[in-house]
């Protein structure tokens, strides 16, 4: 398995595009994206657990109930949420695209992201679709990644090459996400494509299993969005033997999918609203996976830990505190903490007690863009990782007037 370029267009048979159609006032910002498969594809998705859901969620859920899709259309700048005609608008987006592509509207995945409670005008989308389709290209992943961004400051795309049954396969993805991220199923908007041949049932099984240790272990600010969606399209263009049951090929597909999703998780965490540092918490030596996940998630969600990382202050007591209230089954008298980054690593606590350490070295370690907090529990063999970012003054500035 190796990292490659191409994002959602790395897989054979997929093209993509992104453009400014007029939803956003800033004409330099792309606000409409398209991903297209030249043949029918198996489809799987997971959605936000927020009871308040964007109209696109229900439409997409019904469209891929049969396990197939051909295209993904997504707008930014407007969430199409809490709008009386939201479902009608989302359906119309699918119909307009389907008519132009010559496919069935039920084969379109639709998504929206942006401000909640603002009516979404279909006119600029309708006018833009012909141009969007004309721009479809094997080099279009980057433009599509830009078109789904809101407060993101960088594009998020990744792809890998792997082998199934002697056939070379590819899987790639794009994502948007910077704030309002605290999932309980998936998060933000993530679109993944692969040319591997895999049944809809096994694709859904792979995705549902994967998010438990990837997107469900990511948090920026503790707020679960109304529009979160992760979709995967698999069109089989690689020509591998169809994966329709557990086995070696399914495990290899799972490994490739996980490589993509972990990379996207890290990219999102590193681009949290106003953030200066990506924060990873690795918990080792837990009694079981549930305890490891609970402890890790509590650490990266703690506002005090996030503020500590922003200040590069080795106040490990905040890490102890988060694990202690997390509800995880741990023996805190065995707990240790170590901070790691490109600048080195420093152990600050062991066996439930603090250690003498250099504040100067700790400051250097915690001042890097990517910081890892390693929590050792010494209770068993289970481990887990979670991702987040620091809490800065800019987070409040960005969200204080997000709508206006």
- 190, 260, 155: which is closest to 44 by C-alpha? 190
Tokens matching residue 360: 């100067």
Torsion (CA) 254, 256, 260, 263 in degrees, nearest 10: 100
Residue 187: active-site member? yes
Distance CA 243, CA 250 (A): 6
Catalytic option among 60, 187, 224, 231: 187
Backbone angles phi, psi at 138, to 5 degrees: -70, -10
Maximum separation of any 2 CA atoms in the chain, in Å: 69
Closest of 37, 13, 377, 342 to residue 169, by C-alpha? 13
Q: Rounded to an integer, what distance in angstroms lies between the CA atom of residue 265 and that of residue 280?
A: 10
Place of tokens 């681009």: 271
- Strand 344-350: give its sheet, edge to edge: 353-354, 344-350, 336-341, 370-376, 278-286, 382-389
User: Which positions are catalytic?
Assistant: 187
């Amino acid at each position: 398995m190796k990292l490659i370029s191409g994002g959602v267009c790395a897989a054979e048979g997929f093209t993509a595009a992104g453009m400014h159609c007029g939803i956003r006032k800033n004409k330099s910002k792309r606000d409409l994206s398209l991903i297209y498969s030249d043949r029918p594809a198996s489809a799987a998705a997971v959605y936000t657990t927020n009871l308040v859901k964007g109209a696109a969620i229900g439409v997409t859920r019904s469209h891929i109930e049969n396990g197939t899709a051909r295209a993904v259309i997504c707008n930014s700048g407007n969430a199409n949420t809490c709008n009386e005609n939201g479902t009608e608008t989302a359906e119309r987006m699918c119909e307009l695209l389907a008519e132009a592509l010559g496919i069935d509207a039920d084969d379109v995945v639709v998504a929206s992201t942006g401000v909640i409670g603002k009516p979404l005008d279909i006119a600029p989308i309708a006018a833009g679709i012909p141009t969007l389709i004309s721009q479809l290209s094997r080099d279009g992943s980057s433009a599509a990644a830009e078109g789904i961004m809101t407060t993101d400051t960088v594009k998020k795309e990744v792809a890998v090459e792997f082998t199934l049954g002697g056939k070379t396969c590819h899987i790639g993805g794009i994502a948007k996400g910077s704030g309002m991220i605290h999932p309980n199923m998936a998060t933000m908007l993530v679109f993944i494509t692969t040319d591997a041949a895999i049944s809809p049932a096994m694709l859904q099984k792979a995705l549902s299993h994967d998010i438990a240790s990837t997107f469900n272990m990511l948090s920026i600010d503790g707020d679960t969005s109304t529009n979160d969606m992760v979709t995967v399209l698999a069109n089989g263009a690689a020509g591998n033997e169809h994966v329709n049951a557990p086995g070696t090929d399914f495990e290899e597909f799972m490994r490739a999918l996980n490589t993509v999703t972990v990379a996207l998780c890290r990219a999102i965490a590193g681009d949290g609203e106003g953030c200066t540092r990506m924060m990873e918490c690795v918990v080792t030596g837990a009694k079981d996976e549930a305890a490891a996940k609970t402890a890790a998630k509590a650490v990266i969600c703690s506002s005090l830990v996030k503020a500590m990382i922003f200040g590069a202050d080795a106040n490990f007591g905040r890490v102890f505190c988060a694990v202690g209230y997390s509800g995880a089954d741990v023996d805190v008298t065995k707990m240790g903490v170590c901070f790691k980054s490109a600048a080195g690593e420093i152990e600050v606590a062991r066996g439930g007690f603090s250690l003498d350490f250099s504040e100067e070295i700790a400051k250097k370690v915690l001042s890097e863009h990517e910081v890892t907090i390693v929590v050792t529990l010494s209770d068993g063999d289970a481990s887990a990782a979670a991702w987040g970012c620091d809490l800065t003054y800019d987070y409040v500035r960005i969200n204080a007037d997000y709508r206006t």
